[in-house]
Amino acid sequence: MFYWIFKWSLFLPVVRLVWRPQVTGRENVPESGPAIVVCNHTSAVETFIVPAVIPRRLTFPAKAELFAEGGGPAKRLVAWFLTVVGQVPMDRSGGRASAGSMDSVLQVLKNGELLAIFPEGTRSPDGRLYKGKTGVARLVLQARVPIIPIGIRDTRVQRTRRFNIPYYRRAKIAIGAPIDFDRYAAAASDRNVLRYVTDEIMAAVQARSGQEYVDAYGASVKAALADGRELASAVVVARPGLGRPVPPVPGTPSEPAHPPLPADSTPAETVEDVTT
C-alpha cells in the first residue's frame, strides 16, 4: 500500500515536474508475470524515475546495511522507508547471509513481480556505461525470467554557463523488448556463460542509452580516481563483450566471437510522454 501512496502522491508528481520524462517502449513491459528490469545508472534520481514511469510495481534489492537498526534519525528514516515500500535487503558479505538474502530476491520473481537492478553496481563516475556485474546473470539463469533492458539519458544535473544555476534536461527513457536467456539455464554455473549473458544485457542497455562503453567496473574506476590515479584497464570498446567468444548453448557447437552492434540496432518504438 505505501508503495503506491508514495508513487502517486510524491514521486510521480515530482518526476513529472522536474525531469518531464519522455518514454519510448512502455508497451514492452508485460502486464503480468516476473521479469528483471535492468538499466544504466548515471544519477541517484533514477531510483525514483524508473518506478515512476513503469506502470507496475518495482522492487529494488538494497544493501542490507540500509535496513540495519540504530544510527541517527536520517538512517532510521531510510530504513523505515525501504521497509514500508517493500524493498528487499541484499547481504553482500558472502556465505549463508548472502545466500539467504538471495532467496528473498528470488521470491519477488517467484511471486510474479518485477525486480529492478542496476547491473553496474554503482553510479557511473562520468556518464559513460561501465562493465556489468555477473550477479544479474546468475539471477536471470536461476529464476529463468526475461530481462527488460532500459536506457536512461539526461538525468544528471546541468548548470547554466552564466550564473552556474543547476537544472535538469528532459529525461529520456527507452524501454526495450524482453530478452530471454533460457537456453543457457543449464550452464548457470559456467563463468563464461555468466560473463556472456551479462555483456549481452549491458549491450541491450547501451543500444538504448547511446553511452560510450568502458570495459572496466565502475567501482574500480572510482577507487582509482579517489587515489588520484588512472585505471590502466579502463579501455573504451564499441560494445560489451566485444572480441569474447560466444559460449556454446548446452548441446550445440560454439559460435565465433561477438561482432559489434550495428549503428542502427536500436528498434523503432512509439514515443510516450509521461507528462500527458
pLDDT digits (tens, 9 = 90+) for 174-197: 999 999 999 999 999 999 999 999
Is 95 part of a structural domain of the chain? no
* 269's grid cell: 518504438
Band (pLDDT 50/70/90 cuts) for residue 254 is: low
At residue 270, the pLDDT reads 40
Is 258 part of a structural domain of the chain? yes
Is 67 part of a structural domain of the chain? no
At residue 91, the pLDDT reads 65
pLDDT digits (tens, 9 = 90+) for 61-75: 877 677 777 778 877
Do residues 133 and 119 touch, judged by C-beta distance below 8 A?
A: yes
Is 99 part of a structural domain of the chain? no
Is 91 part of a structural domain of the chain? no
Model confidence at 93: pLDDT above 70: no
Mean pLDDT of 128-135: 95
Tally of domains in the chain = 1
Is 69 part of a structural domain of the chain? no
Band (pLDDT 50/70/90 cuts) for residue 215 is: very high
Global confidence as pTM: 0.85
Is 85 part of a structural domain of the chain? no
Q: Residue 141 — φ and ψ, nearest 5°?
A: -75, -30
Instruction: Give the range of the structural domain holding residue 41, as residue numbers without chain letter.
Output: 2-57+113-265
Instruction: Please classify residue 230 by burial: count the beta carbons closer than 10 Å to its beta carbon, then call 0-12 exposed, 13-18 middle and 19+ buried.
Output: exposed
Is 107 part of a structural domain of the chain? no
